[in-house]
A = this chain, B = another copy of it.
Amino acid sequence: MKRIAVLTSGGDSPGMNAAIRAVVRKASYHGVEVMGIFHGYEGFIEGRMELLDLGSVGGIIQRGGTKLFSSRCPQFKEDRYQYQGIEKMREANVEGLVVIGGDGSYRGAHALSQKGFPCVGVPGTIDNDIPGTEYTIGFDTALNTVIESIDKIRDTATSHENSFVVEVMGRDAGDIALWAGLAAGAESILIPEESYNIDDIVNRIKRGEARGKKHSIIIVAEGVMSGSELAKILKEKANIITRVSVLGHIQRGGSPSARDRVLAGRLGAKAVEVLLEGRSGRAIGINNHQIIDYDIEEVFINKHKADVTLYTLSKELSI
């Protein structure tokens, strides 16, 4: 291969820029050119791209967001748009594609691979919900953003002896809620992977109060219910008054953490290696500290699992 392309797709996550940089630099190391496609699959269909040289990825390793922009592109599910994009790539002598994004974005990469256009997927999402990789790019940064926010909320919760319900992102996965809850010392954590028990939450709050503790932090993953729904339930069932904080989109931005930058560098570099080895339809991931690649179909067949030992631990430590 003499020229490949890279795009970012779906929800953006901190570290996507670091991954783009790694793709460009690793390819450059092997004498291969990289085209940056703008706006995800939308730009792929239209061939909207430009050459990324070493200078064009300078000074981006520390930036949140993605310099290639991202988008959701529902029409890309249709074969004819996929063929149109492949045609655009061939006209531009692009021989392979690195897709950085979440599982939705992997669908497109898979479809292109099956149509004979070599693609690999790099996991870029804060949700940490892609089967086959232990971590995704952006998860660690989002965690740190969440705990810094909860640390601030705890200042005011402690001072006023109020309780707070904090709603965090994660779609159907509880990883952000679970890790952040453990890291922030939350009194209760609600995640989609585990059934919750309002009585248990109420008991924890009351046990704390009996010990003289007058504030609690309850973390709820958006995949369980909204923060205001939970607050309403606590009010109705046990007359517990809580304030609600929905952290929202701040979780998606910010300068990537050290872990996310290193992970992005490793995964992005591996994606280039896999393409240059002539392989296609592969997903890149990390497993026991090793960077691996695996059949991208596994992402659709398997289901991501949160580490439930952390959930058990959180229960024990928040007695």
Measured CB to CB, the residues of A under 8 A from B are 8, 11-12, 14, 16, 21-22, 25-26, 28-29, 39, 54-55, 58-59, 61-66, 69-71, 134, 140, 143-149, 151-161, 164, 179-180, 182-185, 211-213, 243-246, 248-250, 252-255, 257-259, 261-262, 265-266, 269, 288-289, 307, 310, 313, 316-319
Contact = CB atoms under 8 A, between A and B. Distances in A.
A65 B162 CA distance: 12
B249 A156 contact: yes
B258 A143 contact: yes
Contacts of A259: 140, 143, 183, 259
The 10 closest A-B pairs by CB, nearest first: A152-B253, A155-B253, A64-B155, A65-B155, A143-B258, A183-B261, A12-B159, A65-B159, A156-B252, A183-B258
Contacts of A25: 316-319
Among A54, A149, A255, A262, chain B packs the most CB atoms within 10 A around the CB of: A262
A141 to B, nearest CB: 9
> Interface majority SS on A: helix, strand, loop or mixed?
helix
Contacts of A55: 211-213
A171 to B, nearest CB: 15
B22 A317 contact: yes
Given A151-B62, A253-B156, A266-B313, A211 B12 contact: no
B69 A160 contact: yes
Among A14, A155, A158, chain B packs the most CB atoms within 10 A around the CB of: A155
B61 A184 contact: yes
B70 A159 contact: yes
Given A145-B152, A313-B269, A70 B246 contact: no
Given A69-B159, A160-B12, A261-B183, A317 B269 contact: yes
